[in-house]
Amino acid sequence: QAGSIGSEVPGPSWKHDGPENNQCSLYPFQVSFHQLGWDHWIIAPHRYTPNYCKGTCPRVLRYGLNSPNHAIIQNLVNELVDQSVPQPSCVPYKYVPISILLIEANGNILYKEYEDMIAQSCTCR
Amino acid sequence: KTGQQSSIALLTEAPTLPLIQELLDEAPGKEHKKPQVLGHPLRYMLELYHRSADLYGHPRENRTIGATMVRLVRPMANVARPLRGPWHTQNLDFPLRPNQVAYRLVRATVVYRHQLHLTHFHLSCHVEPWVQKSPDNHFPSSEGSSLKPSMMSKAWTEMDITQHVQQRLWNHKGRRILHLRFMCQQQKRSEILQLQWRGTSSLDVAFLLLYFNDTHTNNQKAKPLSRGLEEFMESESPLLLRRVR
């Protein structure tokens, strides 16, 4: 299994401008639960880093992108048959969970691990 | 601003997604004030959280929690009962929510004060399950083999009651309440102590911890493969027959 593109969060010098060629990549993004309007019941963590994927998908989907066969065919269809069929989109490939500590309405306290809450890498599909 | 005001409203527009359902079930409305939970219950859960996840909420790889969800249940407000013999007792009632299909109970423990300090008085305490007396009922005592408390700190003790909860309560339908009895003993009887004892609240002396594992996630991940494989294996006659019918 080859690693997917942008599997590592880029460093600070890179993060504001994005990759030079605007290629599909993972972007770090942080939000507070206050901004989401959930801080009245979530105790921890204070900040949530969901990240996001952005960028164009290349004409030739190389192996490292972890694209499924369908995406490769859709690219070919877009290029050779019908341009109204869109190119594959840049979307999250792998996710990791987040642990949350919250207070329920009745005063009980809940620790819970939510799956697929943080994007870790991106793919074109 | 828009996000703060309408995040719950947005969630209600997609109520069929499992995460959205859970958030709607568990998130109190913005109009509800955050319930005040202070003291040992909150400290215990914060410690459990920091042991299990880092500052950003990423679960630690070496976490030993053994569950994907832990619910701390506080007892219903209850005042101490009058003195009976050498024992000072309080009945602790823990309301249990209906079972969630996707979650399997893996462990239940009660955390309680084994030393209670009232002004000038020190009491030694323990907790035991309380069930209505009948000839068939067996009352496990804290000295029994299944209920061995373990010391957490100078004042708090944790005791495993998984077997008791699973056998006597977990599969019951309707409203379920776990009854425990908190019992304390002091060598010298004192009227002042009695007054202080009657003023203690059940909220300060014990709480219940329920550990669950999420079976839903595993099933969901397994589904596409098994369904695809099943359809492939059965693609000859059964599916065709059903379509014709």
Q: Closest partner residue to B45 among A34, A48, A111, by Cβ? A: A111
Instruction: Give the DSSP letter of residue B176.
Output: E
Please say whether the beta carbons of B202 and B77 come within 8 A.
yes
- More confident: A69 or B39: A69
Q: How many residues does chain A have?
A: 125
Please say whether the beta carbons of B205 and B156 come within 8 A.
no
Q: What is the pLDDT of residue A104?
A: 86
The tens-digit pLDDT sequence of chain A (125 residues) is 333 444 443 333 334 444 557 899 999 999 998 888 888 788 899 899 999 999 999 888 877 788 999 999 999 999 999 999 999 999 999 999 999 999 888 889 999 999 999 999 999 99
> Closest Cα of chain A to B240: distance in Å?
27
Residues 58-117 of A with CB under 8 A from B: 96-115
Q: What is the pLDDT of residue A82?
A: 97
Query: Closest Cα partner for B60 from B48, B68, B69, B52?
Result: B52
Report the alpha-carbon distance of residue B164 to residue B166 in Å, rounded.
6
Work out the end-to-end distance of chain B between its first and last CA atoms, rounded to an integer number of angstroms: 56
Nearest CA in chain A to B59: A99
CA distances to A63, A108, B143 from B41, rounded to whole Å, are 51, 9, 25
Q: Closest partner residue to B52 among A99, A102, A110, by Cβ? A: A99
Who contacts B146 (Cβ-Cβ below 8 Å, separation ≥6)?
B140, B160, B163, B164
Report the alpha-carbon distance of residue B121 to residue B127 in Å, rounded.
19
Report the alpha-carbon distance of residue B101 to residue B104 in Å, rounded.
8
Q: Does A118 touch chain B (CB under 8 A)?
A: yes
Q: Please write the tens of the pLDDT for every residue from A54-71.
A: 999 988 887 778 899 999
Report the alpha-carbon distance of residue B216 to residue B110 in Å, rounded.
26
Task: Give percent above pLDDT 90 in chain B.
Answer: 22
Who contacts A105 (Cβ-Cβ below 8 Å, separation ≥6)?
A41, B28, B32, B35
Query: Cβ contact (<8 Å) for B72 and A108?
Result: yes
> Closest Cα of chain B to A82: distance in Å?
30
Q: Closest partner residue to B27 among A38, A44, A109, by Cβ? A: A38
Q: What are phi and psi of B137, to 5 degrees?
A: -75, 135
Q: Closest partner residue to B69 among A34, A37, A110, by Cβ? A: A110
Q: What is the pLDDT of residue A73?
A: 92
Q: Please write the tens of the pLDDT for every residue from B6-35.
A: 566 666 666 666 666 666 666 666 555 666
Q: Please write the tens of the pLDDT for every residue from B118-174.
A: 777 778 898 988 766 544 444 444 444 445 666 666 778 999 999 988 887 777 777
Q: Please write the tens of the pLDDT for every residue from B60-85.
A: 998 888 999 999 999 987 766 666 66
ipTM of the complex as predicted: 0.76
Average of pLDDT values for B185-203?
67
Residue in A39, A104, A116, A118 to test binding to B, most B beta-carbons within 10 Å: A104
Q: What is the pLDDT of residue B7?
A: 64
Residues 36-55 of A with CB under 8 A from B: 36-38, 40-41, 43-45, 47-49
